[in-house]
Structure formats: C-alpha cells, structure tokens
Amino acid sequence: MRAAIEAKRCGVDVAVVSKLHPTRSHSGAAEGGINAALGNATDDSPESHTFDTVKGSDYLGDQDAIEIMCHEAPGDIFELEQMGAIFSRAADGRLAQRPFGAAGAPRTVYSADITGHVLIHVLFEQLVKHEVTVYEEFYCTQLVVDDGRCAGVLAWDIVRGGVHAIEADHVILATGGVGRMYYGTTNAFACTGDGMSLAWRAGVPLKDMEFMQFHPTTLKSNGVLITEGCRGEGGYLRNKDGERFMARDAPNAMELASRDVVSRAEWKEIADGRGVDGCVLLDLTHLGAKKINTRLPGSRELALDYAGVDPIKEPIPVRPGAHYHMGGVDVDIWGESIIPGLWAAGEAACVSVHGANRLGGNSLMETITFGRRAGRAAGERVREEGDANARIEAGVVADEERRLSALLRSDGGERPGVLREELAKSMYDKAGVFRTEEVLQEAREKVHELRQRARRLHLQDHGTLFNSDLVQALELQAMLECADCLVTGALARQESRGAHSRLDFTERDDDRWMKHTLATYDDGEVRLDYKPVTVTRFEPVVRSY
Amino acid sequence: MSVPNAHFTTLQGAYDVDLMEVTLRIRRYAGDGSRAETQSYTVEVPTTATLLDALDAVQNTRDGTLAYRKSCRMAVCGSCGMRMDGGAVLACKTAMKPFVDAGHVVTVSPMGNLPVIKDLVVDMTPFWQKVHAVKPFLDSSDVDPPEREWRVTPKQAALISKESLCIMCGCCVSECNSMESDPDFLGPAALAKAYRFVGDVRDGDTRNRLKDLSGAHGIWDCTRCYFCNQRCPKGVDPRDAIAKLGAEAFREGLTRDEGAKHAKVFVSSTYRGGYLRETELVPKTIGPIGAITQIPFALQLARAGKVPNPLSPHKAKDNAEVKRLWKLLEAQTPTTRERAARGDGAGA
C-alpha cells in the first residue's frame, strides 16, 4: 500500500491486487513497533541505528541499504504520523519510544502493542484518499514477462472465479513472507510466499532464503506471537526451575538480546529438559496489572484467548516459532529486480537490510521506507519513459485458464492440507533453530518428495465460486518452492550466522561465507550462486550481547 | 561424523496436545440462490481449538468445499466474522471447549445484514461503501503541517483509543437492528470510524464531518439497542462512538435533524420536570405541522391507553437531584473540545 500511494503521487495509473482485502494483510499483526532514531526518549542517531542493524544482521546486511533505511526512517515516521497514524505519546505530546532487543537506545515508535494494526489502517485510509483502485481477493497465479520485461500478472478471481489479465509496465511484489511452511509460526494463513514463488518461476533469484528468523515468544497452541515489547517493558524468561537462563548466553542484554540469540537459548533449555511442556516461561507478573493493562493489553488478551493464562497472575508458556523471512526476491536499493519493471518490497524482498537476522521493529520500517522508494522509483520511471505498452497475449491467458481448470478437476489422491502439514512439521523439525547436514538433507528429500506428490493433488471443490481448495493448492505450490530454496541454501552454507545455526559448523566463517546466497529457478530445480555483501563502514567483528 | 548436541535440532514434544471431539452444525449456502442446508460435521481438534480451528479441521479432513474467510487467526485481521448460534463472533477468538464441555452443538451461519456469497462468506461491498462514505482519512489541510510530528498529549490521544482498535470485521454490522430496517443506515462500524476522525485533535474538518453524519441514515438513526457494543470482539463499543458523535454534533449546534431534536426534548423535558413529557416529544421532534399528521396515530394510542394525560403531565415532586445529576454529567462529558487542544501545542 505504501508503494501504491507513492506511485499514485507520481501521477501514474496504479492498482493494488491482493488475495485479501488490504486491511487483512499480516502487517496488521505486528505488535511491538517501528524503529526510527527520532531521539525523543534519549539521544539517538541514524548512525547508531545503522550500527545496531549491521551488527544484528551478523554482517550479512548490505550496509548501503541499511544506511538508507536508518537515515530515511525518521522522515517516514513523521509522514505516517501526519497521515493520521495513532501512535503512543510521551507526556509532552511527542511520539513515545520504547527499548527493543539489540538496540542502543529506546528507538521503537509504537502504538501500545497494536502498531502494525494502526499502520495498516492508516495506509488503507490513504489508499482511499488517493483513490487507488483495489482488486481485492484476486490471487496472482503468474507474472508475465514479455521480451525480457515485466508485462503484468494473471490473477484468479477468488470470489467469482476466472482468470484475469492485469497488464502493467511495472509490478511491485509486496506479498510478505512464507512462515506457513513451518508448523510453529507466528504467521497468518496467508503467508505462503506467493510473490517469491512468482518471481522465482519468472527467473528472478531469491536471496538468502536459508535465513528464517524464529521469534522467541510464541504460543504453543497456535503460534501466535507475544510481542518483544513484553521484554522491552521488563519481562523475564525463566526455565522450569524459575531461573533466568539468558544469563548464560547474553549476560549483559539478558532478555533483550537479539532474537536469534534468545531463540537458541530457549531451544537449548527445552531440548535439555529444562522446559515446561515444550515451552519456557515468559514472566510479566512483576510488572503489575497497571503496566500490563496500559502498555501490553493486546498481549494479555492473546494469552487469555489462546493459552488460557492471565499474565498478571502467572507466566505465559512460550517457544520459538518461525516469524520473519530475512530472505526474499533479490532487489537493489530501489527495489528493482533483474527483470526490468519487476520490483519487490517488504518481507517478500531481500534488499538486504536484515542480513542473517532482523532486529525487532526493523521490519515495519523496512516495508515503509523501501515500499515508498519502490513506488517512487517505479512511478518516476513511468513518467520518464512513458507507456511501455505492456501487453499480455490472449494465448498466455488461455494457457493459464487451461492449467487452472485442469487443477480444479484434479483427483490424484493427495489433499493439499495433508501435504501442507507434512511440509510444516518436516521444516520445523529439520530446518529449525538448530541445523545439521543430516537433518537438512532429510528436509530436502522431504521437500522433493512433496513437490512430486503435489503434482497429483485431489481437489474436492471443483467449482469456481470462492474455492478455498484451489487457492490452498496454489499456495502449497508456492510454499514448496520457497522451502526447496531454503533447505538447499541452508545445506550449502557451512557456517553459523544469525538465524542460520549449524551444529556441525558452529562458527561464523567470513572468509568463505560472508556472501549472499542466490537461489535461481533451473528447470524446476534450485541452482545456487553467490554475490558479495556491500560493506561501507563497518568491518565484521565478533557479535556478542 | 557425530555432531555434538545433535539433539538440539528437533524440539521434543512439539506436537503433544490433548484432543477433543467437536461437532458443528453449519448452514451452507451454495450461492446459486437455492435454500441453505444445514450439515453436521464431527472432527477431532486440540482442546485449545477455536471455532476457526474446528472449521479448518472440517475443511482439511471432511469437506474441502466449505467456504469461509480466514487469515491471521489472532483476532486482528478481521476476516472470520460469522454467526454462532445466531450472534456474530470472530471464529478465531471463540474457544470451543466450553461448548464441548457443556455438550452443546453450535450452529454456524454467515453474518447478517450482508448478502451471502457462499456458505459463511458474505459480500462485504456494502460494508466498505459505508466506510468510504464517512471520508475515512485525516484532513488537516486547513493548517500547515509541522516539521516533525503533531503534538498530541496522551489524554488527547486517549479520546479515540477505543475506536482505533476496530478491525473492520463486520460483527457489529451483522447484528445492527437499525440496518435491518434501513439498509442505508451508515451503521456502527462506519460511524465508529467517523468518530476516530472527529475525535482526533489533528483533524480540521470536524464541523463538515458532523454535518454529513447528522443527515439521513446517520447518527440519529441508531436505535440504541447496544447489540454492536455487545458483539464487538475488540471492545470498540461503536454505540458509544455514535453517542459521542451526537454530543459533538450538539456542541457544534447541529440540531436540525429530527433525531437530534428528539434527543433534545428528552433532555429539556427531564431537566424541567424530572419526567419525560411524551406529548411534547412528537411536535418538538417533527414540528407542529408534522405533529398534526400524526393525530390519528395518537388517537389510536390513546384508545389503547398508551397516552398520558397531556393536560397534567407527570412532574417529579423534587427534581433538584435530576438537575444536580444533569450538571454533573455536563461537567464530566469528555469534551472532544478539550480539543481547544489543537491550539495547545499541536504542531509545536
């Protein structure tokens, strides 16, 4: 939506195509906040934000991209505020800022613990204000590339059925992540890597796909995230003996160490038998009812609804869950891919700002700053170059109609939901927080087996009216492709860096592996290439908290 | 090669959960205009399962043709509004265990006041049209923007904190009594959204907004049944937002609408006599000429013994207490015009 608003401001014809109504997207679930060095709480600077992000990325983030985000972030925040975003305020009326993991200053702007919710609604308000056309509940099934450049998308009308050709000189993918390939995940059902898969099949490399961030505090029952703000406000993590185990792995930062560090510490506690029913305990009881009710009301509601626990009275059982995909469509600092006219922004993209590990509060910021930049760059390109006359041939549409109608009638015996669950368990067990060659190999074989079985799907719904079976089949295909890129990249990367933690290669190896992985479509298989990391000011040093 | 700590890779007990059996009765609409049919499904789900989890189990293991919307499963995206036992709920926020324990089989059906597309999926177009109709974006174009953020004190921000929680799920609209008789009524969701801007000290278009909202199908057409407050899964309390809009409209002197006049008579009449003088209500609401046209109806009511004697209206013996209450309320009403607000630092 941020990209669409900016492109519209350039005076060009813009439409948003989404499989959900725009306010239903998963950015709305972001709780804790959005990072910008405003200096409202204590002294802070974009340079300090840059350093924290580079260090947090375990030196895999491109430093030019990180500098751009950290320097442009304050302006973007003030713009969001003036659009009408309802942020929490300090007593003097300025924007309040709270401390977040691995940040040198309280830099996270927030709205209680519903920051993503207020942002997604303010962006939708601006979409209405700017009269941007929205095609809601359309699932993009194919990116059309004509003569080497982007020509638009083919989309299935989820509500009424039928394939539509949406011709466009420029397409910006802002389709989010792919957490649903994991059993334990904070992600919405909609996070199935659709945009990454579209780009991959069109020949664009996916970058650093092996880096999936596990959030340390998710509920066992359904993976729902309990915000890092809980620890930012002073919450403790304890094992079954009541011990604050973070003292072992991060004696200084404790619970506010970087997410990968906290997730590993938790995973070890549970694996070594010091957990409680497969979880550790997030203890907020010492914060008191007043603080919990004013600063963290959403977290209390989620704990009550989905864990049956009132955090005012008792600790919340939590465990790590797949949360944010650092990897994504390989794009430059304006969001453009190797195919002219094809762009990406947000979690679907990999610029790369987050490198091997993202800091809490940086994803909303990235999606806003780089969404705006992609919208601006694409809009200006149209203004400069005029109409590129994107055309989608009738034959292309007819082919897609045939493919989808065959899928609709398919009765091969494999149910999409069954394959999805097998994939999710395999990824959670074998490509999770800790990895070895042995388990990754098993994961890869499983993904390949599932990709074969997914050719023999059985759909029970053969109709065209709101056919969830069909959409789930398409989503499954996207997830399987992303999973293949993830495990293939993870198997190859023989080091531990950020969220990618190999028990058989426990050290970071800058000589061999300080480089981005590129996973490219090669006749249906994954081909790996690499490219260097951009370093501007910060040479890699050992990362500790 | 043996890898140290290889047992760290897989989280033991990750899938251990207690299970229960749940039965759902689902009203199914084919979407071709044929009558709905009720189908029952029994599925096994974790004891922590919500209604949405149960529907997923049905779709995954029993019947892939079942249609419903979902996404976040954490009560923030607003996709899964539907009716359970006749009242709107978010499926993802409704735990099934209490019903299983009570041996009660729930009936699931699509939301009300919106056209059904298929099964539990409704057409949200009319819902969004009404949201669009309240100019749902901040308008501060009357003043120059500040260099940084607008200054808004926590107290000012709190004026719209409840309305800011709205996820646009439609549960309030589903149960709205007024909308049932007047499909064009703006309804609780759009009006709560409207108050989100009227109550925002940064917005400079308050008077125009209130003028538009005071017209036909607007704030005065709410019947105050409070079903919206009762059914909202997020604590937005849309009826309270509508009441605040009414108060703001009064403050702006926008009292020409019959609904506003009606409310005014209530207040003035109780203030003077401690009781509502019902005979004043009609002429003062719709005017003397309109009132004459209502005489046949009044006579009908009188014959049925429903009209108090207009010549000796009820009067409380001592209505000093009423007056004291009235003044107290006046003093306590959160004046959005604490809003003078905008002057006190906004844009500094």
A372 with A6: CB under 8 angstroms? Answer: yes
Structure confidence at residue B335 (pLDDT): 56
Q: Please provide the CATH number assigned to the domain covering B19-122.
A: 3.10.20.30
Indicate the DSSP class of residue B3. P
Secondary-structure class of domain B124-277+314-348 per CATH: mainly alpha
The partner residue sitting opposite B149, judged by closest CB among A94, A125, A415, is: A94
For chain B, positions 119-178, list CB contacts with chain A under 8 A.
Answer: 119, 121, 124, 128, 132, 136-138, 140, 145-154, 156-157, 160-161, 164-168
Structure confidence at residue B343 (pLDDT): 41
Residue A34 identity: I
The per-type count for chain B, helices as H runs and strands as E runs, is 14, 7
CB atoms within 10 A of CB A147: 6
My answer on whether omega of the bond before A352 falls inside 30° of 0, hence cis, is yes
Interface contact B90, partner A, CB < 8 A? no
Specify the pTM: 0.93
CB atoms within 10 A of CB A391: 14
Q: How far is B137 from chain A (nearest CA, A)?
A: 5
Every domain of chain B with CATH number 1.10.1060.10 lies at: 124-277+314-348
Distance CA A405, CA A161 (A): 10
Dihedral sign, Cα of residue A460, residue A463, residue A465, residue A470: positive
Interface contact A441, partner B, CB < 8 A? no
Q: Which residues contact A4 (CB under 8 A, 6 or more apart)?
A: A14, A15, A16, A127, A132, A172, A375
Interface contact A20, partner B, CB < 8 A? yes
Give buried/exposed letters for B152-182 (b at 16+ CB in 10 A, else e).
bbeebbebbbbbbbbbbbbbbbbbbbbbeee
CB atoms within 10 A of CB B139: 17
**Distance between alpha carbon A454 and the CA centroid of its chain, in Å?**
25
- Burial class of residue B50, CB neighbours in 10 A (0-12, 13-18, 19+): buried
**In 3D, which of B307, B282, B188 has the Cα closest to residue B238?**
B188
What are the start-end ranges of the H helices in A493-541? 510-513
pLDDT digits (tens, 9 = 90+) for B108-164: 999 999 999 999 999 999 999 999 999 999 999 999 999 999 999 999 999 999 999
Interface contact B179, partner A, CB < 8 A? no
Question: Which chain A residues are closer than 8 Å to B148 by Cβ?
Answer: 38, 78, 94
Interface contact A314, partner B, CB < 8 A? no
Indicate the DSSP class of residue A338. S
Contact A24 B148 (CB under 8 A): no
- Counted across chains A and B, CB pairs separated by less than 8 A come out at 220
Question: Which chain A residues are closer than 8 Å to B61 by Cβ?
Answer: 417
Q: For B247, phi and psi rounded to 5 degrees?
A: -65, -40
Q: How far is B323 from chain A (nearest CA, A)?
A: 35
A405 with A446: CB under 8 angstroms? Answer: no
For chain B, positions 296-315, list CB contacts with chain A under 8 A.
Answer: none
Distance CA A153, CA A139 (A): 10
For chain B, positions 20-59, list CB contacts with chain A under 8 A.
Answer: 31, 46, 48, 50, 53, 59
What residues does each domain of chain A span? Answer: 217-320, 394-532
Q: Please provide the CATH number assigned to the domain covering A394-532.
A: 1.20.58.100
Interface contact A311, partner B, CB < 8 A? no
Q: Following DSSP, what letter does each residue of A85-130 receive, concatenated?
A: ----B-TTSSBPEE--TT-SS--EE-STT-HHHHHHHHHHHHHHHT
Q: How far is B254 from chain A (nearest CA, A)?
A: 26
> How is residue B21 written in tokens?
């059996």
Interface contact A251, partner B, CB < 8 A? no
Mutation for B interface: A16, A19, A23, most B CBs within 10 A? A23
Question: H or E stretch including A295?
Answer: helix A288-295
Q: Which residues contact A128 (CB under 8 A, 6 or more apart)?
A: B132, B136, B137
Dihedral sign, Cα of residue A8, residue A12, residue A13, residue A14: negative
Which ipTM value was assigned to this complex? 0.95
Contact B3 A503 (CB under 8 A): yes
- The CA R_g of chain A, rounded to the nearest whole Å, is 22
The partner residue sitting opposite B137, judged by closest CB among A111, A128, A468, is: A128
Q: Which residues contact B2 (CB under 8 A, 6 or more apart)?
A: none
Q: Which residues contact A193 (CB under 8 A, 6 or more apart)?
A: A175, A177, A178, A180, A181, A325, A478, A479, A481, A482
Q: pLDDT digit of tens for each residue in chain B (348 aa)?
A: 578 888 888 887 888 899 999 999 999 999 888 999 999 999 999 999 999 999 999 999 999 999 999 999 999 999 999 999 999 999 999 999 999 999 999 999 999 999 999 999 999 999 999 999 999 999 999 999 999 999 999 999 999 999 999 999 999 999 999 999 999 999 999 999 999 999 999 999 999 999 999 999 999 999 999 999 999 999 999 999 999 999 999 999 988 777 788 888 887 888 887 777 777 788 888 888 888 888 888 888 888 888 777 777 677 777 888 888 888 877 766 554 454 444 443 333
Tell me the three state secondary structure of residue A431: coil
Q: Which residues contact A273 (CB under 8 A, 6 or more apart)?
A: none
Q: How far is B209 from chain A (nearest CA, A)?
A: 15
> How is residue A495 written in tokens?
């080091």
Distance CA A479, CA A517 (A): 19
Distance CA B132, CA B194 (A): 10
Distance CA B65, CA B85 (A): 22
The partner residue sitting opposite B76, judged by closest CB among A21, A38, A117, is: A117
Interface contact A465, partner B, CB < 8 A? yes
A265 with A245: CB under 8 angstroms? Answer: yes
Indicate the DSSP class of residue A25. S
Mean pLDDT by 10 residues, chain A (545 residues): 98 97 97 94 96 96 98 98 97 94 91 94 98 98 96 98 97 98 97 98 98 96 91 94 96 91 95 92 97 90 92 96 98 98 98 96 97 98 90 97 96 94 97 97 98 97 96 98 98 97 97 98 97 96 87
> How is residue B235 written in tokens?
């604590």
How would CATH label the architecture of A217-320? Alpha-Beta Complex (3.90)
Contact B10 A94 (CB under 8 A): no
- Catalytic residue ranges of A: 259
Every domain of chain B with CATH number 3.10.20.30 lies at: 19-122
Residue A172 identity: I
Distance CA A312, CA A291 (A): 10
Nearest-Cα residue of chain B relative to residue A440: B9
Nearest-Cα residue of chain A relative to residue B156: A93
Contact B71 A267 (CB under 8 A): no
Contact A93 B93 (CB under 8 A): no
Question: Which chain A residues are closer than 8 Å to B149 by Cβ?
Answer: 77-78, 81-82, 87, 94-95
Q: For A143, phi and psi rounded to 5 degrees?
A: -90, 130
Distance CA A376, CA A507 (A): 41
